[in-house]
Chains A and B, each alone.
Chain A
Amino acid sequence: MRERALRIVRTGIVLFLGLIFYVGCSSSTENKKEERKPAPKVHTVEIKQMKFVPAELHVNKGDTVLFINNDLVAHDVTEEPNGSWTSSALQASESWALQVTQSADYYCSLHIVMKGKIIVD
């Protein structure tokens, strides 16, 4: 009777230690993963002289792209080809932030020859 109780306690301790070990391990791998994933960054795309500069931008998922209109005239930033997101018209010196979830082509719907690209690495 007593031996059985002892065995249960022992098994309990082993399980408990095992659990601690497991949790410790898994949380430490999680930490490592977080260390490898860089913190979200803010990138800038300047709109000037009727161009998106840079026209091609590499980012990580979750990064933010800030579009700043430093031109004489109004522009917008619109997803191509579906128009699934748009900044609407940005007047001179206005800006707009986009949180990137996936790669996208975009253009200015006011000047359809102006084009740019965001590439998620």
Chain B
Amino acid sequence: MNAVKTLTKSGVMLVALLTMLLLPALAQENPKLSDPEVAHVAVVANQIDIGYAEIALKKSKNQDILKFAETMTNDHTAVIGQASDLAKKLGVTPMENAVSKQLLADAEKTKKELRSKSRKDFDKAYIDNEVAYHKAVIAAVKNLLIPETENAELKALLEKVLPALETHLEHAEMVQKKI
């Protein structure tokens, strides 16, 4: 019962997040995000998942969860490294914006929820959130970030990151089935 409630809740949150991310973009013909803003959203989205993994590495005892969280930490750190290198090369300073602020605010709430879970409920809550979060980020990269990016190299990097996000999602779904 509890699980159903959590799932429904994360489903609702996912739809809300996507609507929030996509509506302003769809409402305007001109790009809503500049490249420095796209870069900031990309970096923040990766940092958020590292933040979730940090909590999992502290709270979980499950080997599948721990290995997944370690991969999330390493992969998202690698992507941030690539994004920072590219930003430097292009002379772009990532710029805070409404989308990245909203992502951070939502993540703070989710992290608080995850930290408050008992050890027994944590694994399921963490992996459910990973599935929902990766779905939301994949949609945002495909439908918002890539279309709004002007610079070809930044666009290429975002396209290169997609297969990693999709693999993370499949991996999370596999772990989710076992929990």
Contact = CB atoms under 8 A, between A and B. Distances in A.
B89 to A, nearest CB: 16
A49 to B, nearest CB: 4
A112 B171 contact: yes
Given A112-B171, A113-B171, A73 B166 contact: no
Interface string B23-38: 0000000000000000
Interface string A60-103: 00000000000111100000000000000000100000000000
Nearest to A109: B67
B163 A50 contact: yes
A113 B160 contact: no
Most buried by A among B75, B160, B161: B75
B160 A73 contact: no
B90 interface: no
SS of B interface (majority)? helix
A73 B74 contact: yes
Contacts, number: 40
B102 interface: no
B170 interface: yes
A87 to B, nearest CB: 15
Contact of B78 (A51, A72, A112, A113): A72
A114 B164 contact: no
A114 B71 CA distance: 13
B93 interface: no
Contacts of A113: 167, 170-171, 174
A7 interface: no
Contact of A111 (B79, B161, B167): B167
Most buried by B among A51, A112, A114: A112
A19 interface: no
A74 B174 contact: no
B19 interface: no
A65 B82 CA distance: 28
Interface of B: 67, 70-71, 74-75, 78-79, 82, 160-161, 163-164, 166-168, 170-171, 174
The 10 closest A-B pairs by CB, nearest first: A50-B167, A73-B75, A50-B163, A49-B163, A113-B170, A73-B78, A110-B71, A111-B167, A113-B171, A50-B164
Given A51-B163, A73-B74, A74-B74, 12 more contacts: A49-B160, A50-B163, A50-B167, A72-B75, A72-B160, A73-B75, A73-B78, A74-B78, A110-B71, A113-B170, A113-B171, A114-B167
